[in-house]
Amino acid sequence: MLELIVISTLNGLLFGMLLFLLSSGLTVIFSMMGVLNFAHASFYMLGAFFGFQLTKWIGFWPALLLAPLLVGAIGMAVERYGLRNTHKHGHVAELLLTFGLAFAIEEIVAMMWGRSPVDYRVPALLDFPAFTIFSTNYPAYKIFMLAVSILIFIVLLMVLKRTRVGLIVQAALTHPHMVGHLGHNVGRIFMLVFGVGSALAGIAGVIAGPALVTQSDMAAALGPILFVVIVFGGLGSLPGAFIASLVIGLIQTFAVALNGSLASAFGPLDPSAGPSVLTDIWNVTIAQVAPIVPYLLLVIILIVRPMGLMGTRET
């Protein structure tokens, strides 16, 4: 049982950190520009596919650097030539733009790389068990993923809290108009933030690609969870996104690991013993419910605390 807890905690942390890499960019973009970027998970997918292609051409390590830069550049271009132009037509237009973009990127990726998973492998250098815990191997690559995510978290925090750029971005989070009135080029800040946010998603894609599955529906599979994370964590709050990512990562992993159903909670009074149309519902296990748990959390947090865990503004 201890083994299960330790391994599940590691797996949960890992998934949580991956979610954080994605949601950190999304939450900052959301709160600055008021736009829920539907294409954010698509940048994650682009990162994975660029990573795969560049790995084939120039190796994994250069790809780890180049692919996020490429994705970041695309992100900036989207902001500069897409969102900035639609901005004057209001949020709905911007929302629709990112919505359309998400579909366009998915189709383009499918056209270029096909719809089945591509063979994106863990680099040979990291393809060994890092350590063995209770006779279970833990892959070195996953430790690497964890390390990269934590490193980025620290760098991001330092930049936001300790630099001038960070100060302006923070100010723009809560008082975007005031920052503009103070003479800062808000347009350029937006573009940079959008680029950095996309690049972060790109990094997540490059490192998650080999461990998970790199295919053209990976954005659609992850997208909804991201929205849960940023709403749950609180709009524009990095610590909130961090906590929410970890909570959702751990909950999803542990829900799988746990046995038990509604029926078993009743012990000898198990209502499923008697035949009833509800037997199926009684016997649904926690593991089966795991995929919907994050969405239940979303509903609950919106009812109980609409500004999210650490947020200051109402979503």
Partner 1 sequence: MHKLAIVAAAALTMLGGAAFAQETIKFGYIDPLSGGGASIGEGGLKTFQYLADEINAKGGILGRKIEILPLDNKTNPQESLVQAQKAIDAGARFITQGNGSSVAAALSDFVTKNNTRNPGKEVLYFNYAAVDPSLTNEKCSYWHFRWDASSDIKMEALTSYMKDVPAIKKVYLINQDYSFGQSVRADARKMLGAKRPDIQIVGDELHPLLKITDFSPYIAKIKASGADSVVTGNWGQDIALLLKAAADAGLKVNWYTYYAGGAGGPTAIKQTGLDHQVFQITEGFANSGHQPAMDFEKTFRAKVNMSLWYPRAVNEMRMFKAAAEKANSLDPVKVAAALEDLKFEVLDGGEGVMRKDDHQFFQPIYISSFGKLAADEPFDEEGTGWGWHLVSKIDTSKTMVPTTCKMTRP
Binding site for partner 1 (CB under 8 A): 1, 3-4, 7-8, 11, 15, 110-112, 114-117, 129, 132, 135-139, 142, 211-213, 215-218, 221, 253, 256-257, 285, 287-288, 291
Phi-psi group of 151: left, alpha or beta (phi > 0 → left; psi -120 to 50 → alpha; rest → beta) = alpha
The residue among 136 and 276 lying less far from partner 1, judged by its C-beta, is 136
Identify the CA nearest to 64 among candidates 51, 53, 45: 51
CB of 258 to partner 1, least distance (A): 9
Cα separation, 23 vs 36, whole angstroms: 11
Q: How far is the CB of 199 from partner 1 (least distance, A)?
A: 22
179/225 with CB nearer partner 1: 225
Which helix H or strand E contains 116, and what residues bound it?
Answer: none
Q: Which is nearer to partner 1, 256 or 307 (CB)?
A: 256
For residue 15, the minimal CB distance to partner 1 (Å) is: 7
d(CA 239, CA 237): 6
- For partner 1, the closer of residues 147 and 182 by Cβ is 147
Q: Residue type for 41, please? A: A
Distance CA 53, CA 11 (A): 27
The closest alpha carbon to 21, from 238, 173, 248, belongs to 238
161/147 Cα distance (integer angstroms): 21
* C-beta closer to partner 1: residue 285 or 315: 285
Q: Please, which residue, 157 or 258, has the CB nearer to partner 1? A: 258
CB of 26 to partner 1, least distance (A): 19
Residue (14 or 192) nearer to partner 1, CB? 14
Do the beta carbons of residue 126 and residue 141 sit within 8 Å? yes
Q: Rounded to an integer, what distance in angstroms lies between the CA atom of residue 201 and that of residue 83?
A: 18
Burial class (CB in 10 A: 0-12, 13-18, 19+), 119: exposed
Strand stretches in 10-151, DSSP E: 129-133, 136-139
Please state the closest distance from residue 67 (CB atom) to partner 1, in A.
Answer: 19
| 237 to 23, 36, 37, 47, 95: CA distances (angstroms) | 10, 15, 16, 24, 21
Q: How far is the CB of 24 from partner 1 (least distance, A)?
A: 21
Find the shortest distance in angstroms from Cβ 141 to partner 1: 8
